[in-house]
Structure 1
Amino acid sequence: MRSPGYGETQPRLDDDRLPLVLVVLDGLGDRPVPELGGRTPSEAADTPVLDALAARGASGWHLPFGWGRAPSSELAHWAMFGFADVPFPGRAVLEALGAGVDVPAGVAVTHAALRTAQTDEAGRVWITGRVGPDDTDDAARLLDDLTGLARRHDAQLTPLPRRGEALLALTGHASGAVTDSDPFFEDRHPWLRVLPLSDGPEAPEAAPTAAALEALLRDARAALRAHPVNRARADRGLPTLEVLTTKWSGARSAVPSFTEHNGVAGAAVTSTGLYRGLASVLGMASRHLRPGEDVTADLRARLAATDELIDAGARFVHVHIKATDDAGHTKRPRAKLDVLEAADRGLAGLLDRADRAVVAVTGDHATPSTGGVLHTGDPTPLVVAGPTVRPDAVTAFGEAPAHAGWYGVVTARELLPLLMGHANRAAFLGHRAGPRRTVALPDDPEPMLDPGPTPCTPDP
């Protein structure tokens, strides 16, 4: 304890601010599975490390946007990072930046992909597949020829690293507030008409964007069906790549950095282009590690990178793995259980880190490993441990145990303030250290510099 300052009675406060580590196991949440005895994979898995964290800390349910609302990863993370009230630029922007593709500001962009399709008697086009591993050369030739067609529509088509995918920029159109032509749920919806969104301030500006994109996609469809590559594929008995679908439209605009918006330096250990792009647009330091097949080793490497980022000045580090989500999408519950057990072994280093940092583990959404849904609004477990976290009665990890935790239901916008509070970094409401209301007490507000001694003016 330090002595009070001059004229003060309260001792000077020690600076015991802590770093934060947020581990997001993508698609962690699930639903009860009959073959697992009515338990979710998290409840059924043997997870001694996560159980130990639960016993040392406090638990709850993370419901990013409330009951029944099925989040996408990008929107959940946007809110989890404190940006719920900042307009989202669109996932196409993030995917392109994550792939190293420059995205012009103020231009409508969308993510485009070559797809196989069949047409029914009513003229509806049903998407049947995507570019396969053996289709790389064919897809590259098709996209290359579509670049000329795009230019005739005053657009620019830039291939992305993944097979048959590209960024489509609509020059002269500022609003990307348009619907997807990609049905996403291919067995439920056909290829969709592009329409302006009707529920936002950009709707009037988006109508010309939608019309221009629809015209381009119709011309692309005709060109693809007549293309020699697709005629040759048909002759070989292969499905033709005859549709260009679009999704995740938006436009890059000025966005405050993570540090500006939240008050502390943020960093990320990224696993895919989406998260590398998110870190880029938010000005976060990052280490990109391609996912390894060994989930345990992969997470150990990510935690090692976390220490490097904290040593370099980061005070919030996001660690992400996709393996849990991928396992959920296989619709094999035991595959997800196996991934969770491997992830638990890789997270062993969190136990020591919880002695000197606030650590949290949760998911960005639920990816049920059964049934005919992709993501759902079911809860995902949340556990937080650290020197300042008072343990509750929960001693196991999983949805059912976490329900009894002290946090109750935590939304995505509430998560960062919760963690900053445990890290002794909560913004002191009523104190204005800078022009922006940040989630945390700012680390580096602008100082008033001493102008130096005032020069003496000699008497006349």
Structure 2
Amino acid sequence: MRMPGYGETQPRLDDDRMPVILVTLDGLGDRPVPELSGRTPAEAARTPVLDRLTARGSSGWHIPFGWGRAPASELAHWAMFGYSDIPFPGRAVLEGVGAGIDLPLDAATTFAALRTSCVQNGQVWITGRVGKDDAADADRLFEELAPLFDKADAQLHPVGRGEAVLVLPHHTRGDVTDSDPFFEDFHPWLQVTSAGPEATDLAERLNELLLTARRHLLTSPVNAVRAADGRPALDVMTTKWSGSRRPVPDFLTHAGVAGAAVTSTRLYRGIAGLLGMRHHHLPPATDHGVDMTTRIEAAEHLIDEGARFVHIHTKATDEAGHTKQPRAKLDVLEALDPAFERFESLSERAIVAITGDHATPSADGVLHTADPTPLLVVGPTVRPDAVTRFGESFAHRGWYGTVAARDLLPLLFGHANRPVFLGHRATPRQTLALPDSPAAMPAG
């Protein structure tokens, strides 16, 4: 500590503020499964590096929105980044920004996809999606559909693999339901309905567009060739994640510190872009260990360039969970583990947190659940607790107990010697951390 100032009795504070690195292992949480002797993949995996970090740090459960509320990744991250009290724009907006589309403000935006289907009892059931070898057919179908959408003042922006961002600029709010059933074995292709008072016309317009697209796809020459070749027709367009782009505070304004991200998919590139976060995009590598090592190196570079919060994301754990093969996620965790050795030294000068955004169970007929995901935090100011192994049942005994998504960054910024001081107003809006650069008074 430095000497007190004139007339002061307390020492001046040292500037020992640290950067924060948050690693999201997407879909990390799981359920105990018989194939792993009643353990989760994280509990059963051999992860000596994560175990060493756990012994040096504090643990807990991250349950983003409470028991029983199974979040999608975009909603979990919106809250994890501290934006719970700011209206969510809709994932379609994030996907559009991530694809580099210049989305206008206050224009209804939805995410469209071509799908295969069958008709049973007068209802259309979704049976599949665009495969790796179907991209050229999907592009041609979008080319055929574009004039129909243009005529209806709707803008179709293909983004690859039979997916597109659909913008309806004459509708200001995208508060409508999904036509994509998500749970294709439980529900048929769904009718779009209004979810807000300003979206009734939008719901009607989307239903008209989707039915028009359906009629065209059923008679398309592209699908006729597919049928002749024994391939299923791409004869339905679904929509989901509707919303509209609205002004949101950038991460620096909202959090008080410069944020950055090492992104892995279009979604996370979109979140970073919308929030004004510097980002380094790395498409996933097939070797999970090499992939994570590269991401951690990129995070270190971003810190060297001035970022004080860096988010690292991998979808490998989530994809493994969706296979419904418990050993798949276990194998991914064991492959990732050696890469975390870099954190053993980095955590001597930074706060490092590793957690998941939700659970993707490796068993049962569910997509995501609110089962707990482990939370590990390590760094110079983190008090080690009694937990020495990484995994759900072990983390439950940690200091943090249960942490909600909205509390995650305040927790980490507190450890980074950046806690926002309630009672001091340095900026017009309450920030998540002590702000780095509040407006200075001119010298004269």
Q: Answer yes or no: same fold by TM over 0.5.
A: yes
Give CA deviations for 1:115-135 in whole Å, capped at 9, x if unaligned: 1101112x1100001111222
Q: Please identify the structure whose Cα radius of gyration is greater.
A: 1
Query: What are the equivalent positions in structure 2 for 1:193-204 lying under 5 Å apart?
Result: 193-197=191-195, 203-204=196-197
In 1, Cα distance between equivalents of 2:341 and 2:28:
18
Paired AA for residue 399 in structure 2? W
| Equivalent in the alignment of 1:150 | 149
In 1, Cα distance between equivalents of 2:338 and 2:316:
14
In 2, Cα distance between equivalents of 1:401 and 1:76:
23
1:176 partnered with 2:169: no
1:385 partnered with 2:378: yes
Paired AA for residue 214 in structure 1? N
| Equivalent in the alignment of 1:111 | 111
1:102 partnered with 2:93: no
In 2, Cα distance between equivalents of 1:312 and 1:14:
22
In 1, Cα distance between equivalents of 2:72 and 2:127:
23
Instruction: Give the 3-state SS of the residue equivalent to 2:104 in structure 1.
Output: coil
Give CA deviations for 1:249-298 in whole Å, capped at 9, x if unaligned: 01011010011001000000000110000000000011111100111111
Give CA deviations for 1:17-61 in whole Å, capped at 9, x if unaligned: 010000110000000011111000000001111111111010000
In 2, Cα distance between equivalents of 1:447 and 1:234:
68
Deviation of 1:169 after TM superposition, in Å, equals 0.6
Instruction: Give the 3-state SS of the residue equivalent to 2:199 in structure 1.
Output: helix
| Equivalent in the alignment of 1:458 | none
In 2, Cα distance between equivalents of 1:5 and 1:171:
58
Runs of 5+ unmatched residues, structure 1? 198-202, 452-460
Paired AA for residue 383 in structure 2? R
1:139 partnered with 2:138: yes
Deviation of 1:105 after TM superposition, in Å, equals 1.3
Paired AA for residue 411 in structure 1? A
In 2, Cα distance between equivalents of 1:363 and 1:235:
45
In 2, Cα distance between equivalents of 1:312 and 1:135:
41
1:91 partnered with 2:84: no
Instruction: Give the 3-state SS of the residue equivalent to 1:319 in structure 2.
Output: strand
| Equivalent in the alignment of 1:454 | none
Paired AA for residue 194 in structure 1? V
Deviation of 1:154 after TM superposition, in Å, equals 1.3
| Equivalent in the alignment of 1:18 | 18
Give CA deviations for 1:345-394 in whole Å, capped at 9, x if unaligned: 11110111110001000000000011111100000000101000011111
| Equivalent in the alignment of 2:7 | 7
Deviation of 1:247 after TM superposition, in Å, equals 0.4
In 2, Cα distance between equivalents of 1:126 and 1:64:
32
Counterpart pick for 2:409 among 410, 416, 438: 416
| Equivalent in the alignment of 1:187 | 185
| Equivalent in the alignment of 1:336 | 329
Paired AA for residue 163 in structure 2? E
In 2, Cα distance between equivalents of 1:94 and 1:171:
17
In 2, Cα distance between equivalents of 1:292 and 1:237:
33
In 1, Cα distance between equivalents of 2:344 and 2:261:
20
Deviation of 1:450 after TM superposition, in Å, equals 1.3
Query: What are the equivalent positions in structure 2 for 1:233-248 lying under 5 Å apart?
Result: 233-248=226-241
Instruction: Give the 3-state SS of the residue equivalent to 1:68 in structure 2.
Output: coil
Runs of 5+ unmatched residues, structure 2? none
Deviation of 1:232 after TM superposition, in Å, equals 2.0
| Equivalent in the alignment of 1:457 | none
| Equivalent in the alignment of 1:401 | 394
Query: What are the equivalent positions in structure 2 for 1:190-339 lying under 5 Å apart?
Result: 190-197=188-195, 203-339=196-332
Paired AA for residue 59 in structure 2? S
In 2, Cα distance between equivalents of 1:449 and 1:51:
51
| Runs of 4+ with >2 A deviation | none
1:348 partnered with 2:341: yes
| Equivalent in the alignment of 1:165 | 163
Counterpart pick for 1:435 among 421, 425, 428: 428
Give CA deviations for 1:309-363 in whole Å, capped at 9, x if unaligned: 0011100000000100010001111111010011111111011111000100000
Give CA deviations for 1:409-459 in whole Å, capped at 9, x if unaligned: 0000010110010001011001000101001110000000112xxxxxxxx
In 2, Cα distance between equivalents of 1:224 and 1:345:
49
Deviation of 1:236 after TM superposition, in Å, equals 2.1
In 1, Cα distance between equivalents of 2:255 and 2:217:
47
Aligned length in residues: 444
Deviation of 1:304 after TM superposition, in Å, equals 0.5
In 1, Cα distance between equivalents of 2:341 and 2:324:
27
Paired AA for residue 397 in structure 1? F
